[in-house]
Amino acid sequence: MPPVQSETVSKTPLFSRLFGLSPISPIKEHMETCERCVLGLVPFFEAVSGSDWADAEKRYRAVSDLEGVADELKKKVRLNLPRSLFLPMSRNHLLEIVQVQDRIANGAKDIAGLMLGRKMRFPEEVKPALTEFVKASLDAVSLARKVIAQLNDLVTTGFSGREIELVEKMLEELDDAEHKSDVLQVKLRRALFDHEADLNPVSVIFLYRVIDQIGDIADDAQTVGNRMMYLIAS
């Protein structure tokens, strides 16, 4: 009589039985940390809006700490991602995804650091446009995190079936979110332009830089989605 395999082993995906825990989990954890880092900009902007610089500094430290955690997770992925030929996807593609994710966290820290260092505030008149723009960019990051959350399911199903359709739909939503961010970025720039004459010229330059950096976060979120498309197509 052949030996009876345990129910636990029989239900464990072949990839996990061969290589242990999925290498995808640290990548998902990294993206979740990057999202938390970016979401920390919301209370930071609220503190800046009220000129509460003590609170803004505390919020900046929280963002900076999460960016540091993201850096450590990035190193963990690089050190532990299997180099085996049996990896069911390109190792380089996975490392590229992590690199782009990391730019999201770096961008959040740079924005908060720049605004805190110069004690920068947007004019009251443009705050509604700013809030709308920031929300759209953060929505793009959250969608990218949801896409990455599906990566393990894609691996275990061999990149086929309903999981592919679900991810493709999410990627379309991510593209829409990034486009919305682009539109709102133009709207915010126009609103700021209308009030340039009332502001210090040097401050205006840095305010536009912050706008660009917020837009870069949405762009990087979309790039995460594009890298996922490469995995699906490869």
pLDDT band at 79 (very low <50, low <70, confident <90, very high): confident
**Is residue 17 over pLDDT 60?**
no
For the chain, where are the E strands, in sequence order? Answer: none
Mean pLDDT of 76-85: 73
**Is residue 193 over pLDDT 50?**
yes
The class level of CATH for 20-233 reads mainly alpha
Q: Which of 118, 225, 116 is nearest to 176 (CA)?
A: 225
11: part of which helix (H) or strand (E)? helix 7-11
- Residue-wise pLDDT tens digits, 158-188: 666 677 888 889 999 999 999 999 999 999 9
DSSP 90-109: -HHHHHHHHHHHHHHHHHHH
Looking at per-residue confidence, does 218 or 10 come out higher? 218
Instruction: Please state, in angstroms and rounded to a whole number, the distance separating the CA atoms of residues 163 and 35.
Output: 23
- Percent of the chain scored above 90 by pLDDT? 68
Q: What is the pTM of this model?
A: 0.86
pLDDT of residue 164: 80
pLDDT of residue 158: 64
Looking at per-residue confidence, does 155 or 110 come out higher? 110
For residues 207 and 192, the answer to whether their CB atoms sit within 8 Å is yes
Classify burial at 182, counting beta carbons within 10 Å of its beta carbon; exposed 0-12, middle 13-18, buried 19 or more: middle
For residues 182 and 222, the answer to whether their CB atoms sit within 8 Å is no
Mean pLDDT of 135-162: 84
Instruction: Please state, in angstroms and rounded to a whole number, the distance separating the CA atoms of residues 69 and 191.
Output: 36
Q: Which of 82, 25, 129, 89 is nearest to 234 (CA)?
A: 89
**Is residue 191 over pLDDT 50?**
yes
For residues 167 and 232, the answer to whether their CB atoms sit within 8 Å is yes
Neighbours of 90 (CB within 10 A): 12
Mean pLDDT of 23-36: 91
Instruction: Please state, in angstroms and rounded to a whole number, the distance separating the CA atoms of residues 194 and 75.
Output: 45
CA distance readout (Å), 30 to 5, 67, 77, 99, 158: 35, 10, 9, 10, 23
DSSP designation for 89 = S
Looking at per-residue confidence, does 140 or 13 come out higher? 140
